[in-house]
């Protein structure tokens, strides 16, 4: 096996070595695998991210609908509307902690099924809301469910998949999130907020029903010494033609001796290295400014004189769906790192252009500070007339969203599910989810203050710089996990200290 000398985080020599060492048995095994049931199990699981996309997309059409509605107690003021949108991220951060606990204690499958409860109760609370607090509680429950889902589903998929399709299936998590966001926007064009909440509660019900018939992951079963159940799960997931015993033994070789993770083990590079990489990826995903820019989208399209700003949201949602699907299709061929680099560069360039637009379009800096909105309105800032360069804002916004969808959207979630050793998976993924959602909360909540402090162009140039840092971080720190089994990735981190 590999020598003990220290190596770069994931040098090409290691990669080549891993491929050369790969037993041809793996190729033989993979050539006989039948994927239908694996796709079915993935489909059942990604109904979770679909539900959380619905939760994320819900507030955009629901807020105007609530304001137009005939219940005076529910006509949200600006600050209430901003909380209605952002309280989800706080619930989801808490969901990260809960999810990290559940996924190890109850298993991947049961944790996922349990998510359906706060989803449905959350929407039921919103549907029956008599006052603003009931709306907040409903959103908080929805957020909690979203946080648990965003942890459990990537872990479930990476553990049932095999290395040939793990990237594609793992990327379906983000694909379903953006389809959910788009689904909520489209339905919101025709449904008022209550019926929209009824519509959004359908996917978690389906997830609950379908997941009941799917297996627990073989890795989790083996870690609990439930070998016959693990073999049965592999028979379901890989079809009858392969040697299930062989895959079981391969996985077992790494899971047999595993005990509960102790805090002191965080001194061990095979634990803290992937931990830091995972948490940093989530941090970088959010400081790219994606949620602030998505929040801003409608205003930008309004400024460019798009008659129907909800149609503009649908356009943004469609760009995300298209390019996330493209990333899912190519990721197992291109690898993760190259897509992250391309994505970061596109985002950095488009955020810089966006900043230039603001610099040119804003006659006097800081003339927006009096605007009492969560985010200063672009039309207030640049006047009610369409600026001749409005197309530049729309173009750079479209490019930014495209760049995000190609890499920094799906890949942090995928890598999170791949790099942690099995016994650290719950705790470490919990820390990632917590970081992601807490940063999402901070960025969306503090965006206004940042615009006042740094001016709008300064803010977008700052996002541009953070996107460049994402690229530098990717090049030096992110391991390439394409084509490797989860056990090979674990072994890699064990060897690189």
Per CB under 6 A, residues contacting ligand BGC are: 56, 174, 177-178, 285, 290-291, 320, 409, 436, 440
The residue (of 442 and 452) whose beta carbon lies closer to ligand BGC is 442
DSSP 135-154: HHHHHHHHHHHHHHHHHHHH
Minimum Å distance from CB 434 to ligand BGC?
Answer: 12
Query: Minimum distance from CB of 125 to ligand BGC (Å)?
Result: 22
What's the closest the beta carbon of residue 130 comes to ligand BGC, in angstroms? 29
Q: Please, what is the minimum distance in Å from the beta carbon of residue 464 to ligand BGC?
A: 19
Between residues 481 and 496, which has the closer beta carbon with respect to ligand BGC?
481
CA triple 298-301-304, angle to 5 deg: 155
Q: Which residues contact 262 (CB under 8 A, 6 or more apart)?
A: none
Q: Measuring CA to CA, which residue among 317, 282, 323 is closest to residue 297? A: 317
Residue 449 burial (C-beta neighbours within 10 Å; 0-12, 13-18, 19+): exposed
Question: Minimum Å distance from CB 49 to ligand BGC?
Answer: 9
Toward ligand BGC, which CB reaches closer, 107 or 409? 409
Judge whether 463 and 289 are in contact, CB under 8 Å. yes
Pick 317 or 421: Cβ nearer ligand BGC: 317
Q: How far is the CB of 62 from ligand BGC (least distance, A)?
A: 16
Backbone dihedral region of 215: left (phi > 0), alpha (psi from -120 to 50 degrees) or beta?
A: beta
The distance of Cα 83 from the centroid of its chain, to the nearest Å, equals: 21
* Phi, psi dihedral angles at 174 (to 5 degrees): -65, -35
Question: Between residues 96 and 138, which has the closer beta carbon with respect to ligand BGC?
Answer: 96
Nearer Cβ to ligand BGC (230/415): 415
3-class secondary structure, 422: helix
Between 56 and 233, whose beta carbon lies closer to ligand BGC? 56
**Coil vs helix vs strand at 208:** helix
The residue with tokens 């809960």 is 98
CB atoms within 10 A of CB 440: 23
Structure tokens at 289: 């400014």
Q: Report the nearest approach of ligand BGC to the CB of residue 337 (Å).
A: 18
């Amino acid at each position: 096996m590999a020598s003990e000398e220290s190596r770069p985080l994931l040098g090409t020599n290691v990669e080549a070595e891993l491929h050369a060492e790969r037993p041809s048995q793996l190729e033989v095994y993979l050539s006989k695998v039948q994927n239908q049931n694996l796709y079915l199990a993935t489909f059942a699981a990604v109904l979770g991210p679909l539900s959380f996309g619905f939760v994320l997309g819900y507030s955009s059409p629901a807020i105007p609908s609530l304001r137009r509605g005939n219940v005076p107690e529910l006509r949200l003021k600006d600050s209430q509307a901003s909380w209605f949108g952002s309280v989800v991220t706080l619930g989801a951060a808490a969901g990260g902690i809960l999810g990290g606990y559940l996924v190890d204690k109850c298993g991947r499958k049961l944790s996922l099924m349990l998510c359906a409860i706060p989803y449905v109760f959350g929407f039921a609370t919103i549907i029956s809301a008599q006052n603003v607090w009931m709306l907040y509680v409903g959103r908080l429950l929805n957020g909690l469910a979203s946080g648990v889902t965003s942890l459990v589903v990537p872990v479930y998929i990476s553990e049932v998949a095999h290395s040939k399709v793990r990237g594609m299936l793992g990327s379906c998590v983000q694909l379903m999130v953006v389809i959910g966001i788009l689904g909520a926007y489209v339905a919101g064009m025709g449904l008022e907020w209550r019926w929209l909440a009824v519509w959004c509660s359908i996917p978690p019900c389906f997830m609950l029903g379908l997941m009941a018939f799917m297996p627990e992951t073989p890795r989790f079963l083996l870690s609990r010494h439930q070998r016959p159940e693990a073999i049965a799960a592999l028979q379901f997931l890989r079809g009858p033609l392969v040697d299930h015993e062989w895959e079981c033994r391969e996985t077992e070789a790494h899971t047999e001796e595993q005990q509960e993770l102790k805090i002191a083990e965080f001194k061990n590079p095979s634990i803290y290295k992937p931990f830091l990489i995972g948490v940093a990826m989530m941090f970088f995903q959010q400081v790219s400014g994606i949620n602030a820019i998505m929040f801003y989208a409608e205003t930008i399209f309004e400024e460019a004189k798009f008659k129907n700003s909800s149609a503009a949201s649908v356009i943004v949602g469609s760009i995300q769906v298209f390019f996330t699907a493209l990333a899912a299709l190519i990721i197992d061929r291109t690898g993760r790192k190259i897509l992250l680099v391309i994505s970061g560069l596109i985002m950095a360039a488009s955020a810089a252009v966006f900043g230039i637009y603001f610099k040119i379009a804003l006659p006097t800096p800081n003339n927006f500070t009096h605007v009492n909105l969560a985010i200063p309105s672009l039309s207030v800032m640049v006047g009610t007339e369409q600026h001749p360069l409005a197309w530049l804002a729309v173009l750079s916004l479209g490019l930014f969203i495209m760049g995000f969808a190609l890499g920094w959207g799906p890949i942090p979630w995928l890598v999170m599910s791949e790099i942690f050793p099995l016994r650290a998976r719950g705790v470490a993924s919990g820390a990632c989810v917590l970081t992601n959602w807490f940063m999402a909360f901070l960025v969306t909540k503090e965006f206004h203050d940042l615009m006042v402090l740094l001016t709008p162009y300064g803010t977008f140039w700052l996002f541009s710089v953070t996107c460049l840092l994402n690229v530098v971080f990717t090049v030096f720190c992110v391991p390439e996990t394409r084509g490797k089994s989860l056990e090979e990735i674990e072994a890699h981190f064990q060897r690189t200290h």
